[in-house]
Amino acid sequence: MPTQRLTAEQITTAALDLMDSDGLAAVSMRGLAQRLGVGTMTLYGYYRSREELLDAVVDAATAGAANHRDPGRTGSEPVDELTELFTALHRTLSEHPALYRIRMSRPFLSPGVLRLCDRALGQLRRAGLDDAAAVGGYRTLYLFTLGCVTYASQDAADTRSALGALPSGDFPHLSALAPTMVATAGSRDEFATGLATLLTAILGTTG
């Protein structure tokens, strides 16, 4: 058992801070122990491996999104609940891009992530969707959110350069819309618009 005065929350918070500042590859049990000022074996008293630690970081971060409640929100319909839920997830992943990089290497199946899934499914069922539509709706919303975060991580200068190099005669629409595509790529407004469009389509199936 751990002997240092250290909590699991302190460890996951420090690991997330390290990911944000130095990248996912920088997170090791030894490096994190140095950051916390403890021996490496102390961390192994909490987490058996780096992978288990990363799962705990993901769990803590996504649990925060799943439990988020906007005190200024007035609506309580499924569309309001789902908008808040996926907006909170998008914000969390945008603020901590290493989280979705972990997702690209293995599925998120920790309790914190599954709590978010459960809350979303509950609202979709509350809206009157049958089982298949609720599951499909959740996956559509989740994958859209992940995709927006991934797209936003692209370098705008690289995108601008690639689009600018296209011959306008062969790519007339991309050439004409390139400035708008670069300016809006990955923005929160673009995410909000897309989320609202998806929710209208998904919830509209209930008639």
Q: Answer yes or no: are the C-beta atoms of 65 and 89 closer than 8 Å.
A: yes
**How many residues belong to the chain?**
207
Query: 102: helix, coil or strand?
Result: helix
- Pick left, alpha or beta for residue 73 (phi over 0 → left; psi -120 to 50 → alpha; otherwise beta): beta
- So what's the pLDDT on residue 205? 55
Q: Are 178 and 164 in contact (CB under 8 A)?
A: yes
Residues of the chain short of pLDDT 70, as ranges, are: 1-4, 71-75, 107, 153-154, 186, 205-207
Determine the pLDDT at residue 61: 84
d(CA 162, CA 196): 30
In angstroms, rounded to a whole number, what is the distance separating the alpha carbons of residues 154 and 73?
32
pLDDT at residue number 1: 43
pLDDT at 2 (0 to 100):
47
Whole-number Å distance between alpha carbons of 113 and 170 = 44
pLDDT at 104: 72
pTM: 0.80
**Which candidate, 56, 51, 80, places its Cα nearest to that of 7?**
56
CB atoms within 10 A of CB 125: 16
CA–CA separation, 114 and 116 (whole Å): 5
pLDDT for the residue 4: 47
For 198, the token pair is 């998806």
- Rounded Cα distance between 32 and 25, Å, is 12
